[in-house]
């Protein structure tokens, strides 16, 4: 059973009062997923809002021709799938576990009841959704106005952990709105310039300042 203390580790719930947390904890459902397992499918009826406690989840949409655009990578403390609860449509994205994932599921009907009882929860949800909308606006800006080279540089900086981004060429292509061949060509050019080192399933960032200049259009 989920406890209020567990919820306080999730930023959305951190400032809510004890009564709201207790009521929310009672209706939470714990879920676990294996690496590569699908959590939700685009267009299907939503089960609720997911709050990631451990692991990473990829959110994407698929075009009629099969091309996939990654919209976000969601990690511990973040949530996804709220839009489908509030607009009464299918899931906005397909969610897939990129590692072992542990999360909490707040069923949609339970969320609506809680919001009617606890207005502060509604405000917290709105703040989270506003932040997600801003992130999507940045993604649209990148896709519309930046070159593949610029987008790759920005994505590598976002994903670098301890100097390295654990990403394949295919994953980078999906996240930056291009195809594997073009992403690979741009990566090799960055490597020739001494900005990164390419390893299997891993890109080591050697010159973050140089990547930042490229990402800013320099």
CB count within 10 Å of CB 5 equals: 9
- Rounded to two decimals, the pTM is 0.84
Helix (H, G, I), strand (E, B) or coil at 168: coil
Instruction: For 134-163, write each residue's pLDDT tens digit.
Output: 999 988 888 889 999 999 999 898 888 667
Where along the chain do its domains lie? 4-143, 147-215
Instruction: For 11-28, write each residue's pLDDT tens digit.
Output: 999 999 999 999 999 999
Q: What is the CATH number of domain 4-143?
A: 2.60.120.10
Q: Which CATH architecture has domain 147-215?
A: Orthogonal Bundle (1.10)
């Amino acid at each position: 059973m989920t406890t209020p203390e567990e919820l306080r580790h999730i930023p959305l719930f951190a400032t809510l009062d004890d009564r709201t947390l207790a009521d929310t904890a009672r209706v939470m459902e714990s879920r676990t997923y294996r690496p590569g397992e699908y959590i939700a499918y685009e267009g299907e009826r939503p089960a609720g809002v997911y709050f990631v406690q451990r692991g990473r989840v990829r959110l994407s949409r698929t075009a009629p021709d099969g091309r996939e655009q990654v919209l976000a990578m969601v990690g511990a403390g973040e949530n996804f799938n709220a839009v489908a609860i509030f607009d009464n449509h299918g899931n906005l994205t397909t969610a897939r576990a990129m590692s072992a994932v542990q999360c909490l599921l707040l069923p949609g009907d339970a969320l609506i009841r809680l919001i009617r009882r606890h207005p502060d929860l509604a405000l917290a949800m709105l703040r989270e959704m506003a932040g997600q909308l801003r992130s999507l606006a940045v993604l649209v800006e990148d896709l519309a106005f930046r070159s593949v080279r610029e987008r790759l540089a920005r994505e590598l900086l976002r994903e670098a952990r301890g100097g390295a981004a654990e990403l394949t060429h295919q994953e980078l292509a999906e996240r930056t709105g291009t195809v594997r061949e073009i992403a690979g060509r741009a990566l090799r050019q960055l490597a020739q310039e001494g900005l990164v080192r390419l390893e299997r399933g891993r890109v080591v960032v050697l010159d973050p300042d140089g990547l930042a200049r490229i990402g800013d259009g320099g």
